[in-house]
Amino acid sequence: MGNLTVLLSRLWVVLCAFLVVVPVLVIVSALGKFDQEIWDYLLDYQLPLLVKNTIILAIGVAVGVLFLGTTTAWLLAMYRFPLSKTLSWAMMLPLAVPAYVLAFVQLGLFEYSAPISTYLRETYGFEQGLPDIRNGVGLTIVMSLAFYPYVYLLAKNAFGSMGSRALEVGASLGLSPVQSFIKIALPMARPWIAGGLMLALMEVLADFGAVSIFGYDTFTTAIYESWFGFFSIETAKQLASLLILAVFVMVALEEWTRRGRRFEEAGRGNHYTPKTLTGIGKYLAMGWCLLVLGLAFFVPVIQLIIWIVQTWQGIDWQETAMQAYHSVSVAIVASVVVTLFALLIALAQRQDGGRFTFFTTKLALMGYAIPGTVLAVGVFVPVAYVDNVLIEWLNLGEETTAIFKGTLGVMIVAYLIRFLALGSSSVSAGMERVKPSLIEASHSLGVSGLPVIWRVYLPMLKGAMGVSLLMVFVDVMKEMPITLMMRPSDWDMLAVRIHAFTMEGIYDRASLPALLIVVVGLVPVIWFSRLGQNDK
């Protein structure tokens, strides 16, 4: 029975890994099929611009998230000032605002025809209004505001774990607090900060919504345009193969940065007691944190509400309700499927702790690092091939062009590949609380096999599974490229409508579906942020 259980466990993780490996191999295999005409076109017109834009954007966002994330983390970890306790968890709220929502709100506020520039022209005669932000600089600022929480969270934990060492060593060397931050704290926190930076940069490489709204060409927009604009799946595969190689480099770097994180940790008793700021210093610290949080969260949310109020009478509530129903129903199904797969992976790891299962599971959880546009191409190609084989084998005729492609089932599979790591992280953490002694006790009471899952594992894992359901639900609601590229043609969803309205510059019409997505995203962000705050 034991050998059979191990065999079934290995078969399951192999199946899950297969779901990830096939799309990746489909994409990477495109590197070995050079089409001279396609590559001549790419080299002459696409690749130089795409590479330049992507590198400039990545460098700019890296600088932005490092500056915003580390400065706010240092202030809130090491000092106390008005609202610091609230700001400590509130700085994570921008994670609830998708980058593409922040992008179109900022354009709607600050571009030439927006209210602020119009007011400056009409009131003060500033003919040019504000500087144009529909460019790489404006996009860099938007993405830095959207992704700084990745660096903030890890940097804050790092600074807090240092204890009083940073300031004590700095004071003994005659350094000011700012000098201690730059010369001592940052180097000590480097592994954590680098990990958060890599996560932010992976988001930059994977982003489709914000860059398309700004009209800034990157690999993700080029993949989408190649497929749906030029109807060339081969060109899309070629571009996707280059992007996925860049992402894998990022994954390797992120894994490498993790290796040193335990080295600088202090014991709990040595953790630093924050110093209370006085005078103008406390207001400067509070003002800086409020400025970052305001631009990244409160300004966009308030503007969305204003737009909704202004267009209240013209909103098609029935259409919006249908889009919300489609988004919520798909997100519920996807979150249940992902959580079920994550549970079975965790059980497989419990049954077989060998290297084979360990490395195969790692492979199965790589989908979260694959950009949505790349994954959509990688899933579509094999599904289309299977469709063509079945149509020919079943002799369905020329009028039948698809069996599986363009269906909700295939889209759910793409979500499963993309978010399995997210669900698995929660369920696996919950599994660590189920001690082997409990399973042995259940066996001694005559409970074995499948009844153990129902009577022991599920009751103890229901909290972790609930977290998995919630996190995957929110991320599916926000996901734009997979939704755009793989949904059935008659299945309109909130992210799709946001993309359609923003591409036409009708930002106020996109405000209601955007606010719905933000409100849904707030639930887990506030929950987890407050949990982390209460643990201190």
Residue 330: band (very low, low, confident or very high) from pLDDT cuts 50, 70, 90? very high
Sign for the pseudo-dihedral over CA of 119, 120, 126, 129: negative
- Looking at the fold, whether 8 and 100 belong to one and the same domain comes out as no
Residues 320 and 298 in one domain: no
- Say what the pLDDT of residue 199 is: 83
381-385, 425-429, 506-510: the lowest-pLDDT one: 425-429
**Per-residue pLDDT tens digits for 185-205:** 777 778 788 888 888 888 898
Provide the 10 A C-beta neighbour count for residue 200. Answer: 24
Give CA–CA dist 214/208, Å, rounded.
Answer: 10
- % of the chain surpassing 90 pLDDT: 32
Using CA atoms, how far apart are residues 505 and 125, in angstroms rounded to an integer?
25
Please give the tally of structural domains in the chain: 2
Would 305 be classed as within a structural domain? yes
Buried b / exposed e across 31-59, counting CB within 10 Å, b at 16+?
A: eeeeeeebeeebeeebbeebeebbeebbe
Same domain membership, residue 363 and residue 248:
no
- What's the rounded mean pLDDT across residues 503-515? 91
Quote the domain boundaries for residue 227: 34-310
Mean pLDDT of 81-100: 91
* CA–CA distance, 410 with 197 (Å, rounded to integer): 32
8-20 pLDDT, tens per residue?
Answer: 788 888 999 999 9
87 and 206 in one domain?
yes
| 17-63: pLDDT as tens digits | 999 999 988 888 877 666 677 677 777 777 888 889 999 999 999 99
Does pLDDT of 478 surpass 80?
yes
Is the predicted pLDDT of residue 71 greater than 90, yes or no?
yes
Measured CA to CA, the distance from residue 110 to residue 140 in angstroms comes to 15
Domain end call among 265, 283, 310: 310
Amino acid at 339: T
**What is the torsional sign of CA 155, 156, 161, 166?**
positive
Is 143:207 a contact under the CB 8 Å cutoff? Answer: yes
Considering just the CA atoms, what is the radius of gyration of the chain in Å? 25
| Shared domain check, 378 and 325 | yes
Please indicate, yes or no, if residue 528 is contained in any of the structural domains.
Answer: no
- Compute the distance between CA of residue 379 and CA of residue 481 in angstroms, rounded to an integer: 13
pTM: 0.84
Q: Are residues 190 and 55 in the same domain?
A: yes
Question: Is 231 in the same domain as 380?
Answer: no
pLDDT digits (tens, 9 = 90+) for 213-231: 999 999 898 888 888 776 6
Inform me whether the pLDDT recorded for 442 exceeds 70: no
The lowest-confidence range among 104-113, 264-273, 321-330, 343-352 is 264-273
Average pLDDT along the chain: 83
Does residue 381 belong to any structural domain of this protein?
yes
CA gap 468, 2 in Å, rounded = 29
DSSP 313: G
pLDDT of residue 274: 78
- Are residue 253 and residue 291 in the same domain, yes or no? yes
Q: How many other β-carbons are positioned within 10 Å of the β-carbon of residue 132?
A: 13
Residue 531, pLDDT score: 61
**Residue 268 belongs to some domain of the structure:** yes
Whether 353 and 457 share a structural domain: yes
Query: Is the per-residue pLDDT at 490 higher than 70?
Result: yes
**409-421 burial: b if 16+ Cβ within 10 Å, else e:** ebbbbbbbbbbbb
Query: Is the confidence at residue 283, as pLDDT, over 90?
Result: yes
Could you tell me if residue 509 is inside a domain?
Answer: no
Tell me the average pLDDT across 159-166.
66
**Buried/exposed 174-195: b ≥16 CB within 10 Å, e otherwise:** ebebeebbeebbbebbbbbbbb
Regarding whether 11 and 39 lie in a shared domain, the answer is no
CATH number, position 341 = 1.10.3720.10
